[in-house]
């Protein structure tokens, strides 16, 4: 059965492969599914870090004197 999802071939060091294999077996999923889930989690973590940097930059420049009130925003 053909799939519409793109494929990715990855070369792993033996110790990394053992770790992914161990997690996959522990969770009762395929290596492919485990790798996909780990990549998703890593991307989510990376994205969270990027948003945190943006928030910190905005927070450092924040001035309550220049900020709009709730009523001003939602008129």
Provide CB contacts within 8 A for 30, sequence distance 6+.
24
Question: Alpha-carbon distance 35 to 6, whole Å?
Answer: 14
Per-domain boundaries in the chain: 29-62
* Residue range 3-47, pLDDT digits in tens: 788 999 999 999 999 999 999 999 999 999 999 999 999 999 999
DSSP SS3 for 59: helix
For 10-49, the DSSP string reads ----HHHHHHHHHHHHHHT--HHHHHHHHHHHHHHHHHHH
Q: Virtual CA dihedral for 46, 51, 57, 63, nearest 10 degrees?
A: -160
**pTM higher than the cut 0.85:** no
């Amino acid at each position: 059965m053909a799939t519409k999802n793109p494929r990715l071939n990855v070369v792993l060091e033996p110790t990394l492969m053992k770790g992914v294999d161990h997690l996959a077996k522990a969770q009762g999923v395929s290596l492919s599914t485990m790798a996909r889930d780990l990549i998703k989690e890593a991307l989510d973590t990376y994205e969270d870090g990027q948003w945190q940097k943006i928030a910190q930059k905005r927070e450092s420049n924040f001035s309550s004197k220049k900020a709009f009130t709730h009523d001003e925003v939602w008129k």
